[in-house]
Amino acid sequence: MKRILSYLMPFRFRMVVGFLIKVTGTVAELLLPFILTYILENVIAALDVRRVVLYGILMVICSIIACVGNIAANRMASKVTADFSLAVRRDLFRKTMYFSARDTDAFTIPSLESRITTDTYHVQNFVGMMQRMGVRAPFLLAGGIIITLIMDKALALVMIATLPLIGVTVFGISHKGVPLYTEVQKSVDAMVRVVREDAQGIRVIKALSKNDYENRRYDRVNAELSRKECRVGVIMGIVNPVMTLLMNLGIAGVVAVAAVRVARNASSPATVIAFMQYFTLISMAMMSLSRMFAMYTKFAASARRIAEVLDTPDSFFVEEDQGDDTDKACISFKNVSFSYFGKKKNMENITFSLPEGGTLGIIGATGSGKSTLVKLLLRFYDTDSGEIRIRGRKITSYTREELTSLFGVALQNDFIYADTILENIRFGRDIPMDEVVRAAKVAQAHDFISAIPDGYEHMLSSKGTNLSGGQRQRVLIARALAGRPGILILDDSSSALDYKTDANLRRALAEDVSDSTVITVAQRVSSVKNCGQILVLDEGRIIGQGTHEELLETCKEYREISESQMGGAFVE
Amino acid sequence: MNKKTEEFSLNKKTDSGRGRGRRGIVLRLGGYVLAEWQLFIPAVAFTLLSNQLSLLGPRYSGAAIDAIEHVGGVDFPVVWENVFRMILCYGGSAVLAYILAVIMLYLSQRIIYRMRRQIFEKLNTLPVGYFDTHATGDIISHISYDIDTINSSLTNDLVQVMTSVYTVVGSLLFMWRISRPMILIFVFTVPVSIVFTRYRSQKVRPLFRARSRKYGELNGYAEEMLSGVRSIQAYGRQDVISERFNVHNKDAMDAFYSSEYNAALLFPSINLINNVSISMVAILGGILYMYSQSGRIAAGSMFFITLGGVAQFVQYSRKFAGPINEFSNILHEFQSAFSAAERVFAVLDESPEPADAPDAGKLDRVEGKVELDTITFGYTPEKTILRDVTVKADPGQTIAIVGPTGAGKTTIINLLMRFYDPVSGEIRIDSVPSLKLHREDLRRAFTMVLQDTWLFHGTISENILYGRENATMEEVRAAARAARIDTYIESLPEGYDTILSDDGVNISKGQRQLITIARAFLADAPMLILDEATSNVDSRTEIKIQEAMWELMRGRTCFVIAHRLSTIQNADTILVVQKGTIIEQGNHEELIRLGGFYSTLYHSQFS
């Protein structure tokens, strides 16, 4: 809560100004019944029509001030709201962009997404509401109470007596409401997940004619969400009627006490009438408060979910390391072990070293840990034991920027977004056009891009669905090459290329990036056989290490793979 | 065919004429409310009752005050009686208000539930192209943000509107009874409010529409970038992407601000009009009271008024003005709700995959004969992807499709599955044109293993059972065994009940692929489509799978986008596709003998 409200701090000056304008407007509005009473009590008694009209005009002037003040204040409030949620959403998104892989896994992407969208939206609504009504309502309430106290203490106290009861009700219900709203948001997450999966798997769903199944699956989460919303609504719905009832009982009490006081000449009937006016005003203020309060519970639940993200500590630490002068290798792994969940080891005692400008091939069965190794090298995860050094320095001594500037990566789970081909290769980097073209040529992408009428300016759809698998991979390789990285990592990124294109790619790579250190993760022996060193992985362990020729001699698994593929695999 | 499309688009035009526009949206939303008449009618009844009771309140308090002011001292019995009545009224009103709130909650939840369900069910009927052209995040924002907006409007505003109407009419009646001349004031001010409100809301509506759209875009962008967060990190592009996100963020907030800025004018202005009315009431009421007191107006004249009367009139005119105030406030919320509803209805009005032909036949026993007859197709009219493609597969035959990437191989699959329909030409299954078959039957006759694995949040067994729901656990295990994933699954602590989490790290892409293959085994369809199915499974696993695949393919007509030579060599027909046409067609020996593109490719890999 505090975390979220701290985002309002920069706007405090504007909020104060808005507040003052609002207060002026509210005071003007509050004066209306006051003048009204005055007219009824004093002016009318004097039987002076001119003064009645005069005071009437005064009321009109107050009304105008109230109107102008409210418009100005509400506009300022909207601006603050817009700026506030701009900042919250900006930081929230940025934070998720910097999340470690473990954090993203823990929150899950759909949940992060709904935090950025619906939760922020709730918070924004509340902040807007708070400014529009949050000043007015308490002020009307306080002002009303003070004026009634001045007018007639005894009557005012009767009315005030209901306030603690209202407070207790509101507090009690809010106590119950917040956790229930948290539950609701959880169900929203689940619902969003199903829609997301459905949108992504539509081809499979249609192929298997699974509409009914999907509809049922969705219906479960949909019904669950409705049920939870009802549960929280039934409880939150109590607030309003109870509040109104208490206020109205106050009115009845005031009338009863007034009767006694008027009989004793301690009060006048005109005072009672004015009192009723203020009472209506106060009860209207209470209404707004109760509405705000209903929103508050929703806000609190969402604010907490946002704060959870914002408060997640950055697990990326940087430590001092002077470097090991004896380690001349570009990349070295020493006894590296790692586990995703702390149960089964996904990487065990990995040791290898790769010289500057060397080439490394990694091959192995599904789940053998090839991608895990790459993820460790990119520091998506930290090792559990052992150490990774890059150019003699521990990987943990590199800052984020240093680390990413070392690599050019084409990952297995390719990411193409809705923008031009050019932008997808540039990927937000400041890379001149001729570099982009050079990279695309090496990646064997230039030809097919040039064949498109608008070439590099061609718009790709989200996830690159308007490209074939092989074209996507080549765009990704071009992206990796465009930054002229010192270390190039190709994680299973040419699997959809036909052999001829793949062979051309290897040849071009050998010429173009001869200075770079290249790591190739692949399923085809032909993609790695020219590497200076090949690792054969199995269940997180190295079971073979050496050149293609050596491995054919020493590693049975490698030989098996190799034999099955020579003359086995063909064009796509 | 052409005529049909024309008719269709004509229908759509009149349809959208009805569906769009504010009146259309209101009517349609109203339809949802009326469909819940079992709740709506009690809701109306309770609104009326509850308001009747709360309207009586001021009347009794006015009577009590008159009794206090009683000439000859306070008339206590009357005061007590009226106070007692007030308590009864307000108590009853509170109980009714709560019941009403609960009814409205259920009413709105049922409507919202139904809408969400309709959207989702609609989504499933839409052609694949819709998903290719709409960002997932945007689709999600229909079901979350848009529905949220409609929901809050329904729960709060519907009762408000009903209450308002009732309060306005009720107050007016009471005011009529107290003093007719004073009502004249409202004859002037109310129309002014109405005209002003209409004028402003017309101005503001497009702004709210823009705001909804911008939110959708923002959500879409967030979704897209979040899904690529690992790649963004690998390139250290967090800042750049965050900046771009912020452009969308800024756009959305600007749209928010400009709609709020313009809407901010309405509420205080209406309030002003009301306050002025009340000031006039005070002036006129004061004057009338003075004359009544001084005797210039005789008791019994329609101009005669007591102090209690003035007080009541002022109270009722506040009650009367309140809803008019509220109206303008609600209208503001309705603006967002309308544009959200507009977006929701737009999804519901999307044309689904064209209905099955009226004379569409069932596909019971599939032999598996597939013919493509001079098929021409393009995703857009400007660009033809396939040109005059003709292929014939006899039952049980394997057709291997080879060729460079982007040649149109995936498109052939899209057409076979009727994800898209050809521009010209015909596909026949067992000699029946596929357009004359129920789409569902046709698709069920194929099993498809795609290059993009797709698993949902659920247990492994649920994901495999997706292929055939009524299969036994024994069959699931057999399928897993056939896909060579059984050992892995059984090694997991939860076995087949292991939950596959979103984008989870607990299972690799290759293993995910194997699960989808197990699913295909279970589906057991007479025809098979493999789209680069093995590209994510590494060679060692591939060897194991190969036998199983052969088994799966035996007796089935298969279309394989192949890259294994063994598959291709054993295929009955090889299609070599290039630039949307089949340049060579025949079996391995024939094509080698032909000495064309295929044979060049074949020989090149040994060089």
How many Å lie between the alpha carbon of B276 and the closest alpha carbon of chain A? 5
Name B230's Cβ contacts closer than 8 Å, sequence gap at least 6: A101, A380, A411, A413, A415
Listed residue (A165, A156, A152, A226) closest to A191, CA to CA: A226
CATH number corresponding to A329-564: 3.40.50.300
Q: Rounded to the nearest 5 degrees, what angle is found at the Cα of A154, between the Cα atoms of A152 and A156?
A: 65
Same domain, B324 and B388: no
- Residues of chain A in contact with residue B256, where contact means CB-CB under 8 angstroms, are 78, 81-82, 85, 124
Residues B597 and B465 in one domain: yes
CATH number at residue B569: 3.40.50.300
Domain identity same for B169 and B265: yes
On whether both B270 and B379 belong to a single domain, the answer is no
Please give the average per-residue pLDDT across B446-452, as a whole number: 76
User: What's the CATH number where B52 sits?
Assistant: 1.20.1560.10
Q: Which of A52, A229, A567 sits opposite B287 (nearest CB)?
A: A52
Same domain? B305 vs B384? no
| Confidence bin at B576 (pLDDT 50/70/90) | confident
Task: Render the burial of A447-478: b for 16+ CB within 10 Å, e for the rest.
Answer: ebbeeeeeebeeebbbbbbbbbbbbbbbbbbb
From B247's Cα to the closest Cα of chain A, the distance in A is 10
Nearest CA in chain A to B111: A226
Q: Is B227 on the interface with A (CB under 8 A)?
A: yes
Chain-chain contact of B101 with A237 (C-beta, under 8 angstroms): yes
Phi/psi for B95 (5° steps) reads -60, -50
For chain A, residues classed under CATH 3.40.50.300 are: 329-564
- Per DSSP, what are the bridge partners of residue B376? B424
Which amino acid type is present at position B313? Answer: F
Into how many domains does chain B fold? 2
Non-local (6+) Cβ contacts of A511 within 8 A are none
Q: Decide if B69 is inside a domain.
A: yes
| B434 closest CA partner among B421, B424, B423 | B421
Least confident of B29-38, B140-149, B311-320: B311-320
Q: Is B488 on the interface with A (CB under 8 A)?
A: yes
Of residues A70, A203, A465, nearest to B268 (C-beta): A70
One-letter amino acid for residue B509 of the chain:
K
Residue-averaged pLDDT of chain B: 81
Task: Per residue of chain A (572 residues), give pLDDT as tens.
Answer: 778 888 989 999 998 898 899 888 888 887 887 787 777 677 766 667 788 788 888 888 998 998 999 899 989 999 999 999 999 999 999 999 988 888 888 888 878 888 898 889 889 988 888 887 777 788 778 888 888 888 888 888 888 888 888 888 888 888 888 889 889 988 988 898 889 888 888 888 888 778 888 899 899 999 999 999 999 989 988 888 888 888 888 888 888 888 888 888 887 777 777 777 777 777 777 777 777 777 788 888 889 989 999 998 888 888 887 777 777 788 999 999 998 877 678 888 999 999 988 999 998 876 788 888 998 998 888 999 999 999 888 999 998 888 888 888 887 667 888 899 999 999 888 899 999 999 999 999 999 899 888 899 999 887 777 787 788 889 999 999 998 888 999 987 877 777 778 888 888 988 888 888 999 998 778 788 888 999 998 888 898 999 998 998 898 888 877 766 644 344 43
CA-based nearest distance B456→chain A, Å: 6
* Residue B7 within a domain: no
State which fold the A2-310 domain adopts: ABC transporter transmembrane region fold (1.20.1560)
Identify whether B10 is part of a domain: no
Final residue of a structural domain among B348, B381, B406: B348
Selected residue with higher pLDDT from A513 and B257: B257
**A498, B532: Cβ pair inside 8 Å?**
no
* Chain A nearest C-alpha distance from B353 (Å): 11
Beta bridge partners of B446: B527
Tell me whether residue B354 is in a domain. Answer: no
Flag if B140 and A113 touch (Cβ within 8 Å).
yes
- Looking at chain A, which residue has its C-alpha nearest residue B250? A86
> What is the distance in angstroms between the CA of the first residue and the CA of the last residue of chain B?
51
Give pLDDT tens digits for B317-367: 877 877 776 776 677 777 778 888 888 998 899 888 888 878 777 777 788
Cβ pair A469:B535 closer than 8 A: yes
Is B20 part of a structural domain of the chain?
no
- Structure tokens of A277? 């006016």
Contact A63 B136 (CB under 8 A): no
Contact A571 B404 (CB under 8 A): yes
What integer is the mean pLDDT of B597-606? 72
CB contact under 8 A, A248 and B488: no
Q: Does B404 touch chain A (CB under 8 A)?
A: yes
Cβ contacts of B112 on chain A, cutoff 8 Å: 226
**Which residues in chain B are closer than 8 Å to A35, comparing Cβ atoms?**
282
Euclidean distance between the first and the last CA atom of chain A, given in angstroms as a whole number: 55
Q: Which amino acid is at A146?
A: I
- Residue B1 covered by a domain: no
**Residue B536 scores a pLDDT above 60:** no
Closest CA–CA distance from residue A61 to any residue of chain B (Å): 9
For residues A351 and B298, the model is more confident at A351
Mutate to test the interface with B, among A462, A474, A561 (most CBs of B within 10 A): A462
Q: CB–CB of A409 and B231 under 8 A?
A: yes
Instruction: Give the chain A residue nearest B410 (alpha carbons).
Output: A468
Tell me, yes or no, whether B12 lies in a domain: no
Beta-carbon separation of B117 and A71 below 8 A: no
Contacts of A91 in chain B (CB under 8 A): none
Q: How far is A404 from chain B (nearest CA, A)?
A: 5
Contact call for B565 and A495, based on CB within 8 A: no
- The residue out of B316, B348, B380 marking a domain boundary is B348
Q: Over 70: is that where the pLDDT of B11 sits?
A: no
Report yes or no: B429 and B404 within 8 Å, Cβ to Cβ.
Answer: no
Q: What pLDDT score was predicted for residue A280?
A: 73
* Chain centroid offset of residue A131 CA: 24
> Does the beta-carbon distance from A97 to B310 stay under 8 Å?
no
Where would I find the H helices in B434-472?
A: 439-444, 460-465
Whether the pLDDT of residue B242 is over 60: the answer is: yes
Place of tokens 């030579």: B565
More confident residue, A295 or B240: B240
Q: Do A469 and B250 touch (CB under 8 A)?
A: no
Long-range contacts of A122-125 (CB under 8 A, 24+ apart): A122/A295, A122/A298, A122/A299, A122/A301, A122/A302, A123/A4, A123/A85, A123/A88, A123/A299, A123/A302, A123/A303, A123/A306, A124/A81, A124/A84, A124/A85, A124/A88, A124/B256, A125/A295, A125/A299
For residue B170, pLDDT over 70 is answered with: yes
pLDDT-derived band of residue B599, with 50, 70 and 90 as boundaries?
confident
Residues B291 and B392 in one domain: no
Asked whether the beta carbons of B520 and B448 are under 8 A apart, the reply is yes
**Chain A residue numbers touching B566 (CB-CB < 8 A):** 568
Q: Which of A385, A344, A394, A403 is nearest to A368 (CA)?
A: A344
- A229/B109 CB distance under 8 A: yes
Whose tokens are 């298969």? That residue is B558
CB contact under 8 A, B538 and A365: yes
> For residues A34 and B183, which has the higher predicted lDDT (pLDDT)?
B183
Q: According to DSSP H, which parts of A98-161 are helical?
A: 101-107, 109-114, 120-134, 136-151, 153-160
CB contact under 8 A, A199 and B404: no
Report the residue of B131, B235, B258, B410 to disrupt the A interface, i.e. the one with the largest count of A CBs within 10 Å: B235
**Is-contact A161 A263, C-beta < 8 A?**
no
Contacts for B401 with CB less than 8 Å, ≥ 6 apart: B409, B412, B559, B560, B561, B562, B575, B577
Range of the domain at B390: 370-606
Q: Is B355 inside any structural domain?
A: no
Any chain A CB within 8 A of the CB of B408?
no
Give the confidence band of B538 by pLDDT, cuts at 50, 70, 90: low
In this structure, how many other beta carbons lie within 10 angstroms of the beta carbon of residue A137? 22
Chain B residues near residue A79 by CB distance under 8 angstroms: 257, 261
Give the separation between CA B289 and CA B277, rounded to whole angstroms.
18
Residue ranges of chain A that CATH labels 1.20.1560.10: 2-310
Angstrom distance (rounded) from CA A356 to CA A517: 6
